[in-house]
Structure 1
Amino acid sequence: MQRTPEFTSVEGAYVALLRLATEGSEHHITARGNEAREVIGVGFRLTDPRQRLPYLAERKANPVFQFAEALWYLAGRRDLEMIGYYAPSMRASSADGIRLGGSAYGHTLFSPGGSTKQSQFDQVVELLLNEPDSKRGYLPVFKAKELADRRNPDVACLAGLHLLPRGGQLHMVCNMRANDLDCGLLSDVFSFTMIQEYAAIQLGLELGTYTHFIGSAHVNDRNAERVKRVLGEAESRPITPAFSFPAMPESTEGATIAHVLQHEEALRTNQLRYNAEHIRSLGLDPYWEQVIMLFELYRQIQHDQTVAVDPSLMAALDPGLRWLMERKWASCATAGGAL
């Protein structure tokens, strides 16, 4: 029996699934007005879940949004005020214009609830600390009641996450009821592997493999041209950019996430502006300093509407993040090219 295909990074899995849905689609579907090509029941495994960013110029992955969404999840939030700033299109999925429902995975996973007043995540961590080989470390997200209202604009695509400590490593299996391969897959894998790494730290384990299973894997017809360009780039480029994503600090805890988000809010609301020297004085690990730098660069793009962002901040970014920012926004490319 063939095991789930393995890749060292999300980029390899992303390209392989795009090719599968483009060249070997099983169905052409129309769901909620979106025409798409679909394959049913596919999956992959990442041997190094930290390599969670794709370096494809045609895709123009957005590391600002990806870090923002991961932090939004880890903080257990569901508000549009934060996530809508980084992804205005998500506002269309809100029933009341204030908060999100099923897609606010972090609220389901990390918000305290029930008689224990513990989050699902904390309960599973406690279980696994006491029963390291347990098979019960499952974090369900999708709820049957989400289907009760057929007008519900925001039904969870994530069914659940399964934490499995084995041999000193924390492995995780993700089950998706559906994944938009061109848009949703990349941000989902980024956030879920961040949750996996955060969980590994709380359990005192090394990071293991990440396995991703999808019920409906699809590419929307409206994105077909971009997908074609991405596949063309992946096939034709002579050298694949090689950047290594750093490890999350072992000191990371809930208070760390809250501290980072204090600075995120100040920048998002344009109350403060930071330079590289200021960010280095905030008392954060260099890993999280990089995230604040991304948020400050985005503040400059959104609030200052600058022609060229601060070149000292661009110079201070890790090479992989700088590469992505330069390709995502012209103002970053101008600054990067001037260094």
Structure 2
Amino acid sequence: MLTPPTYQSVEGAYLDLLRLASQSPEHHIDARGNAAREVLGVTFRLPDPRQRLPYLAERKANPVFQFAEALWYLAGRRDLEMIGYYAPSMRSSSADGVHLGGSAYGHTLFTPAAGDTLSSFDRVLDLLRTESDSKRGYLPVFSPDEHAIPDNIDMACLAGLHLLVRSGRLHMVCHMRANDLDCGLLSDVFSFTMIQEYAAIQLGLELGSYTHTIGSAHVNEANMERVKRVLDEAQQRPTAPDFDFPVMPHSTSPDTITELLVHEELLRTNTRDYRAAEIAHLGFPAYWQQVLLLFEAYRQIQYGEPEAVTRDVLDALHPGLRWLLAHRWAACRKAVTAL
């Protein structure tokens, strides 16, 4: 039986694909001035899609951005005002300086088209509620119309997401036309598995496997030094950090996302600040409190109030998230070292 390579977490897939593309590329390409090493048509599977974070000090994964992007998608947004705060580099992909285009996957999935009352996501969920073992739960994202945009600077890398209900579990197959393995893969898998878990909750199903397929899997030559450091770290460390990612609460609904983003905006605009105890009393389950703790930590970093992120915020974070913050920002590392 031929099945895709399977990994316990996204970290293993990330490392193997980095090795493959950087050390044994099939092609050397130079699309639009971006020299890269490339392999074609790769696939991997995560039996537990919740294990969506890597713990590699050299990679410095950013869970603040990853949660922000996932919520931005789930809310169906395409504005730069929110996502540009967490990733200023994304502003260069906007044609009008206000919105993003093809890369605003959530807008395509979760916002109804003009004149419609249901999003494509909601229509697929309705289908899966009524048609057992359906093969039709496909959510296209890439549109042929994107080729008609002159000098399109923001073409969707995501072709589509395929939701499949089998034996009481919601599985998902993701189809990418292209993936930057060093810069884009980790954030994509994080957000898409969050969408999968959210969909499973709306359907009242257990979470199934996640399969990720890529047409052009590539590593940019400009990032090869970091790639080498990441691969060296993975090879030389005696043991890898091991943190289980928690389960999204079954109470999560569209209203949950809306309410979270109210507080996100208050923190992003520095209108409010929260102590950990205040976040604990906002009425959110512990899982979503963690996200607001991350946003509060980032507010402190961005607005430069303390020399280090406050101890109460870091103390209240999941150990894996605290590890990631400490390896990315000195303001967090100083406080974590003092714990």
CA deviation string 1:58-115 (max 9, x = no partner): 0000000000000000000000000000000000000000000000000000001255
- Distance in 1 (CA, whole Å) between partners of 2:71 and 2:20 is 31
Over the matched positions of the two proteins, sequence identity in percent amounts to: 69
Q: Aligned partners of 1:83 and 1:34: how far apart in 2? A: 24
Deviates more, 1:315-324 or 1:148-157: 148-157
Q: Distance in 1 between matches of 2:297 and 2:179?
A: 30
Residue 269 of structure 1: aligned partner = 269
Does structure 1 residue 34 correspond to structure 2 residue 34? yes
| Structure 1 match to 2:193 | 193
Match for residue 242 of structure 1? 242
Letter aligned with residue 127 of structure 1: L
Question: Secondary structure of the residue that 2:226 maps to in structure 1?
Answer: helix
Alignment correspondent of 1:124: 124
Distance 2:149 2:108 in 1: 19
Alpha-carbon distance in 2 for matches of 1:114, 1:270 = 34
1:319-334 matches, within 5 Å, as 319-334=319-334
Aligned residues, how many? 339
Q: What is the distance in 2 between the residues matched to 1:208 and 1:110? A: 21
Alignment of 1:133-148 (within 5 A): 133-148=133-148
CA–CA separation in structure 2 for the residues paired with 1:305 and 1:152 = 40
User: How far 1:22 moved relative to its partner?
Assistant: 1.1
**Which deviates more, 1-10 or 314-323?**
1-10
Residue segments in structure 2 that go unaligned for 5+ positions in a row? none
CA distance in 2, matches of 1:112, 1:21: 38
1:188-267 alignment, distance < 5 Å:
188-267=188-267
In the aligned structure 2, how far is the partner of 1:31 from the partner of 1:134?
38
Alignment match, 2:14:
14
Equivalent position amino acid for 2:281 in 1? S
* TM-score, structure 1 as length reference: 0.99
Query: RMSD over aligned Cα, in angstroms?
Result: 0.8
Q: Which runs of 4+ in 1 moved over 3 A?
A: none
Greater shift after overlay, 146-155 or 277-286?
A: 146-155
SS class of match (1:7): coil
| Per-residue deviation, 1:155 | 0.2
SS class of match (1:103): coil
SS at match of 2:58: coil
Deviation at 1:117, TM superposition (A): 1.1
Q: Tell me the distance in 1 between the aligned counterparts of 2:305 and 2:17.
A: 36
Query: What do the CA deviations read for 1:172-207 (whole angstroms, capped 9, x no partner)?
Result: 000000000000000000000000000000111100
TM-score by length of 2: 0.99
Structure 1: state its 5+ residue gaps. none
